[in-house]
């Protein structure tokens, strides 16, 4: 059965480049912009309230934080702290949610219920809408993170305990910052050219994917090893593909294990496009475990669910897919879900609030794109029998077999 077309949750007044979901609150944060200084299209970070209404997941705009002339291209979230990559800098923002005070009635009393305030609508137009919370955003720091002629921060990540922030950009340098002081502790040239993605692993190891065909594992500024995804595929030349994305993911039923996932895309476009590839690696030894093709559309972004069960892929042609992490098999695919390149995606967290939002679905994925839209992709629960029912069926089959043997061979028992 073909998947349902994704629902449009929200439309921004500018291109969207990144999305994150809060792990403890039903809150999505999207950001982007159109380069206001040159185009006049505003830039901002939008806070969306997620809730189930009539059995469907919906999003309403709580707050629009103006980022002036700076478009947010990358973003990392640590509880209520946002690290936003804007041009050549990383801006650290802190946000808080405050319930609005009841509005005063005609007789001077306080009326209960949501208040109305002027604000951008989900389709980017100003209109009066109900607000259930007020979002307050505070700017804490701003540090320069890229020094190339066409400076652009392309990746940012927090480590597990949020004591460290790592950034990478167009100049190929990896920079490590103490958090929250934002004191730079280390910088070194990691790649000849742009850093496409960063993943933080165990023992403070950092994995970087660059446009120089390299995917490297670092301990501080020391190269631990370079990954070679095609070592068991001798028919593929070394520089036919480059690494586009890298992410660590958990392993179901094994809390001590990690897997690294990388995406490889063709370096050159051809009339008959070759496939892109997904590779799964052991998260400690960094040995390749499995590589599978994932279609001929060029992959633009990668996301992993909290449990490590599912991988989300977006493409430059706007398509969205969900793969199962264990086998890398594709479970869900919608061609051209967006009208243009998918820039980022995020799975609904597997927390209490997240399970409420899932409403019985096995997974839910949010995708954003340059077409200014945030869309929802639902993966329905796969039909399976409960363990107790399987055990009951097995017991019934054993009893039936014994009875048949007794009928066929009297005195069997």
Q: Say how many C-beta atoms besides its own lie within 10 A of residue 307's C-beta.
A: 15
pLDDT confidence tier of residue 122, bands split at 50, 70 and 90: very low
The domain total for the chain is 2
pLDDT (tens digit, 9 = 90+) per residue, 326-352? Answer: 999 999 999 999 999 999 999 999 888
Q: Say how many C-beta atoms besides its own lie within 10 A of residue 188's C-beta.
A: 14
pLDDT confidence tier of residue 266, bands split at 50, 70 and 90: very high
Buried b (16+ CB within 10 A) or exposed e, 100-115: eeeeeeeeeeeeeeee
Q: What CA–CA distances, in Å, run from 323 to 136, 244, 289, 364? A: 37, 17, 16, 13
pLDDT (tens digit, 9 = 90+) per residue, 373-399? Answer: 999 999 998 654 455 666 777 778 887
Do 314 and 395 lie in one domain? The reply is no
In a domain, 65, yes or no: yes
Do 396 and 299 lie in one domain? The reply is no
Do 220 and 241 lie in one domain? The reply is yes
pLDDT (tens digit, 9 = 90+) per residue, 205-262? Answer: 999 999 999 999 999 999 999 999 999 888 898 899 999 999 999 998 888 899 999 9
**pLDDT for the residue 155:** 98
Distance from C-alpha of 290 to C-alpha of 280, rounded to nearest angstrom: 5
Residue found under tokens 């992709």: 377
Q: Domain limits at 60?
A: 7-99+133-382
Do 188 and 265 lie in one domain? The reply is yes
CATH number of the domain where residue 285 is located:
2.130.10.10
In a domain, 125, yes or no: no
**pLDDT for the residue 105:** 54
pLDDT confidence tier of residue 128, bands split at 50, 70 and 90: very low
Distance from C-alpha of 149 to C-alpha of 220, rounded to nearest angstrom: 26
Mean pLDDT (the chain) is 88
Helical ranges in 35-129 per DSSP H = 36-39
Do 24 and 69 lie in one domain? The reply is yes
């Amino acid at each position: 059965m073909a998947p349902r077309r994704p629902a449009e949750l929200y439309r921004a007044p500018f291109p969207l480049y990144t999305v994150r979901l809060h792990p403890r609150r039903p809150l999505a944060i999207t950001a982007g912009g159109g380069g206001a200084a040159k185009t006049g299209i505003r830039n901002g970070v939008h806070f969306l309230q997620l809730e189930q209404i009539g059995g469907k997941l919906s999003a309403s705009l709580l707050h629009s934080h103006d980022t002036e002339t700076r478009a947010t291209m990358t973003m990392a979230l640590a509880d209520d702290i946002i690290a936003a990559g804007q041009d050549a800098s990383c801006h650290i923002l802190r946000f808080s949610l405050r319930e609005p005070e009841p509005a005063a009635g005609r007789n001077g009393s306080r009326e209960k219920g949501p208040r109305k305030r002027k604000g951008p609508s989900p389709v980017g137009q100003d209109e009066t809408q109900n607000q259930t919370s007020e979002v307050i955003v505070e700017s804490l720091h701003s540090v320069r993170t890229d020094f190339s002629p066409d400076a652009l921060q392309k990746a940012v990540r927090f480590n597990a305990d949020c004591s460290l922030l790592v950034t990478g950009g167009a100049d190929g340098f990896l920079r490590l910052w103490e958090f929250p002081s934002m004191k730079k502790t280390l910088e070194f040239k990691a790649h000849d050219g742009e850093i496409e993605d960063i993943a933080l692993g165990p023992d403070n190891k950092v994995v970087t994917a660059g446009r120089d065909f390299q995917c490297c594992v670092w301990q501080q500024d020391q190269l631990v090893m370079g990954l070679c995804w095609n070592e068991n595929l001798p028919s593929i030349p070394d520089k036919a593909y480059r690494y586009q994305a890298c992410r660590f993911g958990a392993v179901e039923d094994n809390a001590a294990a990690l897997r690294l996932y990388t995406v490889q895309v063709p370096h050159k476009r051809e009339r008959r496009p070759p496939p892109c590839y997904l590779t799964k690696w052991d998260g400690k030894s960094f040995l390749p475990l499995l590589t599978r093709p994932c279609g001929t559309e060029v992959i633009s972004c990668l996301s992993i669910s909290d449990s490590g069960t599912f991988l989300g892929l977006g493409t430059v042609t706007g398509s969205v897919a969900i793969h199962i992490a264990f086998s890398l098999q594709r479970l869900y695919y919608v061609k051209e879900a967006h009208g243009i390149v998918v820039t980022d995606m995020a799975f609904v967290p597997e927390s209490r609030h997240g399970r409420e939002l899932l409403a019985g679905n096995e997974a839910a994925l949010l995708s954003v794109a340059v077409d200014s839209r945030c869309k929802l992709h639902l993966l329905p629960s796969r039909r399976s029998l409960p363990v107790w029912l399987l055990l009951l069926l097995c017991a019934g089959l054993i009893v039936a077999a014994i009875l048949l043997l007794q009928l066929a061979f009297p005195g069997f028992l």
